[in-house]
Amino acid sequence: QIQLVQSGPELKKPGESVKISCKASGYTFTDYAMHWVKQAPGKGLKWMGWINTYTGKPTYADDFKGRFVFSLEASASTANLQISNLKNEDTATYFCARHNIGTTDYFDYWGQGVMVTVSS
Protein backbone atom coordinates (compact mmCIF):
# COMPACT_ATOMS: atom_id res chain seq x y z
CA GLN A 1 0.00 0.00 0.00
CA ILE A 2 1.04 3.59 -0.56
CA GLN A 3 2.72 5.23 2.40
CA LEU A 4 4.60 8.41 3.17
CA VAL A 5 6.58 7.98 6.37
CA GLN A 6 8.19 11.06 7.84
CA SER A 7 11.01 11.39 10.34
CA GLY A 8 10.50 12.06 14.04
CA PRO A 9 9.86 15.22 16.06
CA GLU A 10 12.59 17.82 16.40
CA LEU A 11 13.48 20.29 19.15
CA LYS A 12 15.81 23.02 18.00
CA LYS A 13 17.16 26.37 19.16
CA PRO A 14 16.77 29.59 17.17
CA GLY A 15 19.45 29.86 14.52
CA GLU A 16 19.92 26.11 14.16
CA SER A 17 18.97 24.01 11.15
CA VAL A 18 16.71 20.99 10.77
CA LYS A 19 16.25 18.38 8.05
CA ILE A 20 12.99 16.46 7.76
CA SER A 21 12.57 13.39 5.59
CA CYS A 22 9.58 11.83 3.83
CA LYS A 23 10.06 8.27 2.62
CA ALA A 24 7.62 7.01 0.01
CA SER A 25 6.69 3.40 -0.62
CA GLY A 26 4.11 1.46 -2.60
CA TYR A 27 4.46 3.40 -5.85
CA THR A 28 7.07 4.69 -8.30
CA PHE A 29 8.53 7.70 -6.50
CA THR A 30 9.47 9.65 -9.61
CA ASP A 31 5.96 9.45 -11.10
CA TYR A 32 4.42 11.88 -8.61
CA ALA A 33 5.49 15.31 -7.40
CA MET A 34 5.84 15.89 -3.67
CA HIS A 35 4.46 18.92 -1.87
CA TRP A 36 5.22 20.35 1.55
CA VAL A 37 2.58 21.88 3.83
CA LYS A 38 3.05 23.78 7.10
CA GLN A 39 0.59 23.78 9.99
CA ALA A 40 1.40 26.09 12.89
CA PRO A 41 -0.06 25.08 16.28
CA GLY A 42 -3.84 25.52 16.24
CA LYS A 43 -3.76 26.98 12.75
CA GLY A 44 -4.72 25.93 9.23
CA LEU A 45 -2.77 24.45 6.37
CA LYS A 46 -0.28 26.50 4.36
CA TRP A 47 1.32 25.33 1.14
CA MET A 48 5.10 25.69 1.13
CA GLY A 49 5.97 24.47 -2.34
CA TRP A 50 6.78 21.31 -4.23
CA ILE A 51 9.55 19.32 -5.81
CA ASN A 52 9.51 17.56 -9.15
CA THR A 53 10.63 14.07 -8.16
CA TYR A 54 11.73 13.27 -11.71
CA THR A 55 13.96 16.29 -12.32
CA GLY A 56 14.62 17.37 -8.74
CA LYS A 57 13.53 20.93 -9.47
CA PRO A 58 12.01 22.65 -6.45
CA THR A 59 9.41 25.43 -6.47
CA TYR A 60 8.87 27.55 -3.36
CA ALA A 61 5.90 29.60 -2.25
CA ASP A 62 6.79 33.25 -1.72
CA ASP A 63 6.80 32.95 2.07
CA PHE A 64 9.23 30.05 1.94
CA LYS A 65 11.99 31.40 -0.25
CA GLY A 66 15.45 31.71 1.25
CA ARG A 67 15.73 29.50 4.34
CA PHE A 68 13.85 26.48 3.01
CA VAL A 69 15.31 23.83 0.73
CA PHE A 70 13.55 20.85 -0.83
CA SER A 71 15.76 17.99 -1.97
CA LEU A 72 15.59 14.35 -2.98
CA GLU A 73 17.31 11.06 -2.36
CA ALA A 74 15.58 9.47 -5.33
CA SER A 75 17.39 6.16 -4.94
CA ALA A 76 15.81 5.94 -1.50
CA SER A 77 12.41 7.28 -2.61
CA THR A 78 12.83 10.08 -0.10
CA ALA A 79 12.04 13.78 -0.20
CA ASN A 80 13.65 16.13 2.28
CA LEU A 81 12.88 19.54 3.71
CA GLN A 82 15.69 21.53 5.28
CA ILE A 83 15.10 24.72 7.22
CA SER A 84 18.07 26.87 8.15
CA ASN A 85 18.43 29.73 10.64
CA LEU A 86 15.35 28.53 12.52
CA LYS A 87 13.02 31.12 14.03
CA ASN A 88 10.34 30.77 16.69
CA GLU A 89 7.67 31.14 14.01
CA ASP A 90 8.97 27.98 12.31
CA THR A 91 7.44 26.00 15.18
CA ALA A 92 4.89 23.89 13.35
CA THR A 93 4.02 20.48 11.99
CA TYR A 94 5.35 19.90 8.49
CA PHE A 95 3.59 17.47 6.16
CA CYS A 96 4.68 15.98 2.86
CA ALA A 97 1.86 15.20 0.44
CA ARG A 98 1.78 13.37 -2.88
CA HIS A 99 0.43 15.21 -5.89
CA ASN A 100 -2.09 13.22 -7.90
CA ILE A 101 -2.60 14.44 -11.44
CA GLY A 102 -5.75 13.17 -13.08
CA THR A 103 -8.78 14.93 -14.48
CA THR A 104 -8.08 17.38 -11.67
CA ASP A 105 -5.12 17.82 -9.34
CA TYR A 106 -5.12 17.19 -5.62
CA PHE A 107 -2.98 15.78 -2.82
CA ASP A 108 -3.98 12.19 -2.28
CA TYR A 109 -1.56 10.75 0.29
CA TRP A 110 0.02 12.60 3.21
CA GLY A 111 2.82 11.83 5.61
CA GLN A 112 2.03 11.66 9.31
CA GLY A 113 3.69 15.05 9.89
CA VAL A 114 6.80 16.16 11.75
CA MET A 115 6.48 18.49 14.72
CA VAL A 116 9.35 20.97 14.79
CA THR A 117 9.67 23.01 17.96
CA VAL A 118 11.98 26.03 18.00
CA SER A 119 12.71 27.29 21.47
CA SER A 120 15.65 28.76 23.32
Partner 1 sequence: DIQMTQSPASLSASLEEIVTITCQASQDIGNWLAWYQQKPGKSPQLLIYGATSLADGVPSRFSGSRSGTQYSLKISRLQVEDIGIYYCLQAYSAPPTFGGGTKLELK
16 belongs to the binding site for partner 1 (CB under 8 A): no
Minimal distance, residue 14 CB to partner 1, in Å:
25
69 belongs to the binding site for partner 1 (CB under 8 A): no
106 belongs to the binding site for partner 1 (CB under 8 A): yes
102 belongs to the binding site for partner 1 (CB under 8 A): yes
47 belongs to the binding site for partner 1 (CB under 8 A): yes
HEC assignment per residue over the chain: CCEEEECCCEEECCCCCEEEEEEEECCCHHHCCEEEEEECCCCCCEEEEEECCCCCCEEECHHHCCCEEEEEEHHHCEEEEEECCCCHHHCEEEEEEEEEECCCEEEEEECCCEEEEECC
Q: Interacting stretch for partner 1, rule CB under 8 A, among 10-18, 22-30, 71-79, 95-103?
A: 95-103
25 belongs to the binding site for partner 1 (CB under 8 A): no
95 belongs to the binding site for partner 1 (CB under 8 A): yes
**Other CB atoms within 10 Å distance of the CB of residue 36:** 26
Residues found near partner 1 in the complex (CB under 8 A): 35, 44-47, 59, 61-62, 95, 97, 100, 102-113
